[in-house]
Copies of this chain bind each other. A is one copy, B any other.
Amino acid sequence: MTIAELKLPTTSAPTLSTDATMKALVYHGPGKRAWEDKARPIIQDAGDAIVRITTSTICGTDLHILKGDLPVVNDGRILGHEGIGVVEEVGPGVSEFHVGDKVIISCVSACLKCDFCKRGMYSHCRHGGWILGYTIDGTQAEYVRIPHADGSLYPFPADADEEAMVMLSDILPTGFECGVLNGQVKPGDTIAIVGAGPVGLAVLLTAQFYSPAAIFMIDLDDKRLAIAKKFGATSLINSADGQAARHVMDLTEGAGVDVAIEAVGIPATFDICQAIVAAGGRIANVGVHGKPVELRLEKLWDRNISITTRLVDTVTTPMLLKVVRSGKLQPAQLVTHRFAITDIMKAYDTFGNAAKEGSLKVVLTSG
């Protein structure tokens, strides 16, 4: 998963910009990215806010974009959909935020007014959804324009830690909503999480809100499994032997798990999930899939299971904020590396070489 980078002659050290320009991490087609000058964003719609970024981070999805997997992303696009910052300017339709407010930026922009938003499905907002660093410029920059600011920003708690809070932009609500809520984790449940990457670990952390009795963590990487152990997994299964499903069935005396959470996004890991789900259980898909999978309906039609998919809605951000502030969730645990935003090219290398670097989330700070 190493990401090739754009080799630009850099005649001087990267610097922060002034005036009407700014620095930003820009996508220039598959394999190409640069930290370069861009025009500062300006208010375009009544609901917009301009936010000066103080902390951001890199997501696995950014790597997918750089690999060219999401062709909808244009050359010239500023990447990034996670961040903490300070409101610099607001449009006339913004009522909940004011200049100077410190905010958490949600990866999903929500107009709050359309039918999907009213149903709590911000991910499918007719005027927003996941657009930051995808169809509009994102947060790996000095400034970002946030459309529908009232539905897309959250107040940064007075005494909070930016490193912890930036995990609320995407990874924590993703793990919680797509994995834990959709999987309906209950006290006493036996659950399995397939994939101990950052998102799988976010599932692991937030699943414990509901006191499952057993949490099996399945991954190919023993280092990540060791982290999972520290984060609360009760059994670790290295799937390198191709026998993960068998191990789970042995551990559960043939019953399988109440909830199987897929946090990778490939057919092989989905197959583990469908092989281990107990009668009456749930398969919650968190991973981003690029191919169809074979669903074994001839075995599952009478098993009374559910399979769910979900693009994170971030509707649980207020709840997650409360839990983080109560101290029951320590999201900063997910951070392994820290960089100045000016070193973002290096940060991408570190994040992209996760196995070698032992990286989970890398945090980028400004100023």
Q: A47-B93, A93-B46, A95-B47 are in contact. Are A326 and B188 (CB under 8 A)?
A: yes
A selection of 13 A-B contacts at a CB cut-off of 8 Å is: A47-B93, A92-B92, A112-B113, A112-B151, A121-B304, A182-B306, A188-B326, A289-B297, A291-B297, A293-B295, A304-B308, A306-B307, A306-B308
A sample of 11 more A-B contacts (CB under 8 A), given A46-B95, A210-B211, A292-B294, is A93-B93, A96-B114, A115-B318, A116-B279, A116-B280, A121-B280, A187-B322, A187-B328, A289-B301, A292-B298, A294-B294
Check B319 against A188 for contact (C-beta < 8 Å). Answer: yes
Check B93 against A113 for contact (C-beta < 8 Å). Answer: no
Contact of A302 among B119, B123, B211, B307 (CB under 8 A): B123
Check B306 against A311 for contact (C-beta < 8 Å). Answer: no
Q: A124-B304, A211-B210 are in contact. Are A319 and B187 (CB under 8 A)?
A: yes
Docked Cα-Cα span, A292 to B119, in Å, equals 33
Task: Name the distance in Å between A294's Cβ and chain B's nearest Cβ.
Answer: 5
Question: Chain A at the B interface: mostly helix, strand, loop or mixed?
Answer: loop
Q: Does A213 contact B (CB under 8 A)?
A: yes
Check B295 against A124 for contact (C-beta < 8 Å). Answer: no
Check A280 against B119 for contact (C-beta < 8 Å). Answer: yes
10 A-B pairs closest in CB distance: A93-B93, A188-B322, A213-B326, A302-B311, A289-B297, A295-B295, A209-B211, A187-B209, A112-B112, A188-B319
Q: Does A265 contact B (CB under 8 A)?
A: yes
Q: Does A325 contact B (CB under 8 A)?
A: yes
Task: Name the distance in Å between A43's Cβ and chain B's nearest Cβ.
Answer: 12
Task: Name the distance in Å between A193's Cβ and chain B's nearest Cβ.
Answer: 16
Check B297 against A309 for contact (C-beta < 8 Å). Answer: yes
Docked Cα-Cα span, A321 to B213, in Å, equals 10
Check A287 against B301 for contact (C-beta < 8 Å). Answer: yes
Task: Name the distance in Å between A104's Cβ and chain B's nearest Cβ.
Answer: 15
Interface string of A267-311 (1 = CB under 8 A from B): 000100000000110000101111111111110111111111111
